[in-house]
Structure 1
């Protein structure tokens, strides 16, 4: 079971990512049509989310060459899940968009957290302890 502090950090990270998406998208509409502006906001939010989750939420020691592609794969899966939930709920079943989107907005963060905590950011940075012994330098000539 994840600790409450990490879940809180995950929630804050998600909120900052959403604000980034909205803020960059809104600012972008001054020079771009809405879809490209929102796309720029989405791209910026992915960067913010990745950096916060890697360094702060999961405190991962996994290198960026491994973690970043994994994070992008999880993000692509979440995007696909959102589309699938909306298609099934709104188009096939005929549910109202706000209710169907609300279902997706609950499922996706849960799925993202589960996958990112178990796969994307698995390597935890060691906690530098002042009591840990430091290796002695080798004598000259060894």
Structure 2
């Protein structure tokens, strides 16, 4: 069961990433939005797409959508902060090449987010 969920989580994350890139590009290229602002709008789109897929498909959660959304959003923000902090440390303190650092971080942050979402955001076990 967990391997199936992990596979669906990767697909949902990939589709969220495509939504992020697509919305960001639309904002910048067609609407004249500055790139950083476009990235924020793209991130919001990615959160929406990823949340919807993870709630209904990946974890098939019966938790209240309001409860699970806020938990999912907190996990997503935590992942962003982890990614940023780890990148900063690896690049600025350890002197790693930025792509090597990001590829290393990619192994940790999504796995952490998957576990937090599986056991907290979308879990329906008694608390």
Normalised by the size of structure 1, how large is the TM-score?
A: 0.82
Which of structures 1 and 2 has the bigger CA Rg?
1
Deviation of 1:33 after TM superposition, in Å, equals 1.2
Tell me, yes or no, if structure 1 residue 97 matches structure 2 residue 122. Answer: no
Deviation of 1:112 after TM superposition, in Å, equals 0.6
Tell me, yes or no, if structure 1 residue 50 matches structure 2 residue 67. Answer: no
What is the CA RMSD across the aligned residues, in angstroms?
1.3
Structure 1: gaps of 5 or more residues? 125-142
Name the CA distance, whole Å, in 1 between partners of 2:6 and 2:85: 26
Number of residue pairs the alignment of both structures matches? 123
Deviation of 1:19 after TM superposition, in Å, equals 0.3
Hey, what does 1:7 align to over in structure 2? 6
Hey, what does 1:109 align to over in structure 2? 110
Deviation of 1:27 after TM superposition, in Å, equals 1.0
**Partner SS, residue 13 of structure 1:** helix
Deviation of 1:82 after TM superposition, in Å, equals 0.5
Name the CA distance, whole Å, in 2 between partners of 1:99 and 1:62: 38
Deviation of 1:123 after TM superposition, in Å, equals 2.0
Structure 2: gaps of 5 or more residues? none
Higher helix share: 2
Which 4+ residue blocks in structure 1 deviate beyond 6 angstroms?
Answer: none
Tell me, yes or no, if structure 1 residue 27 matches structure 2 residue 26. Answer: yes
Hey, what does 1:77 align to over in structure 2? 78
